[in-house]
Amino acid sequence: MVELTVLVAARDEEESIGEAVAALRSAFPRAAVIVADDGSRDATAERAEAAGADVLRLPRRGKGQALSAAERAAPPGPLLLVDADVRGDLTPLLPSDKAAHGLRLAVFADRQGGGFGIAKRVARTLIRLRAGVETREPLSGQRVLSAGARDAVFPLAPGFGAETRMTIDAVNAGHLLDEIELPLRHRATGRDASGFLHRGRQLLDALLAAGPLRVNYRGERLPLVGWAVALHEPLITAIGLADDRWSGEERGFRAHLRARRTTGVLKLVGIPLVALVRTRSLSGALLVGLSANVLNQLDTRPGRALKVYLAAALVVDAPLALAVLLAPYDLREMTMLGDGGSNGLGAMLGLNSVDRFTGRGRWVGIGALAGLTLLGERRSLGELIERTPVLRELDALGRRR
């Protein structure tokens, strides 16, 4: 019989984690308890180990990423997710028929602390819009997942968006959702600055988590925020978003041309066509199409495409504010540009270059971008950056190791 595994995400919980682990081991004696230490600066990891938990020491990332790392380390089977500060009997959360359940959430019998309920109402609305179900406690961290529901929801959305997206994914995959009222208690946040900051992060993370997500090179699932570039460049961004939504396994011009009907071919034809209409110039269409493609080729590591965009934008006088706003989230691996964002930003550089350069200067730019495109078809541009000392250091600046 496959046994339950308990996952606990903890950060700076040295005062309570030992008691929490001991209580979980007593309540679920046959379950393994894995504590994901999310970059604690105190003795959380040591006290969890002393209480009998298996501990993953992780860099500070966020709740969703910590739980996803713990899930990868867990054996197959159902999971119980628990917040480190929760106290009370969680055994009623386990279904009597383990084969029948999908996702079961604990509802606190008594409200403790909190703000004005805005984050909870927004999360409840997002779940209703995306999955068609009503929930009482959409942000509850006390959850039991069957093996099937586990496969449907992991890796989780990052940060505090994990619970909202977990419910959406489980229900949309056809799993049952139950909410069980339990007499639990936890360390409540109040109506002070730290409490409002915490709930503001919950709200932002839930909004991002309910949108399109993609798995990055680390195997983490991140929100795509390229749609924001549509504020500046709607049509070309929309073409890139189609590639985000429906792209296949093809990579590079040759692969897309061999496959013929792919979203990559749509970009190959559609972006230069839009640019041709906009610039009424063949050279302008080439410059915009190649700029969009090169920036897209560079978007293989956090912050890389945005750094190149910002550097080039200073030269061609392209908009800076949106890229500056997105860069910290991209570098911290909380979001991704995706094809919509990188193609849209690249096209913005190209369109501003058309306005700034004429004649020979424009064709020099086309030649340089065409050379980078051909190089990227044969070798990874990212690999070349990582092999060049100065570029490697600039590329890694601000990114977590």
* pLDDT tens-place string over residues 98-130: 555 799 999 988 776 666 788 889 999 999 999
pLDDT band at 1 (very low <50, low <70, confident <90, very high): very low
pLDDT of residue 200: 82
pLDDT of residue 252: 56
For the ranges 60-74, 177-191, 298-312, the lowest mean pLDDT is seen at 177-191
* Average model confidence (pLDDT) across the chain: 89
Residues 6+ apart with CB under 8 A from 300: 217, 380, 381, 382
In the chain, domain spans: 5-215, 226-396
pLDDT of residue 302: 93
pLDDT of residue 9: 94
> C-alpha 115: how far from its chain's center?
26
pLDDT in tens, 250-295: 555 555 545 556 677 888 889 999 999 999 999 999 999 999 999 9
pLDDT in tens, 32-80: 999 999 999 999 999 999 999 999 999 988 999 999 999 999 999 999 9
In the chain, pLDDT over 70 holds for what percent of residues?
91
Average pLDDT (313-319) is 94
pLDDT of residue 355: 85
Residue 192 pLDDT greater than 70, yes or no: no
Name the superfamily (CATH) of residues 5-215.
Spore Coat Polysaccharide Biosynthesis Protein SpsA; Chain A (3.90.550.10)
Average pLDDT (354-380) is 89
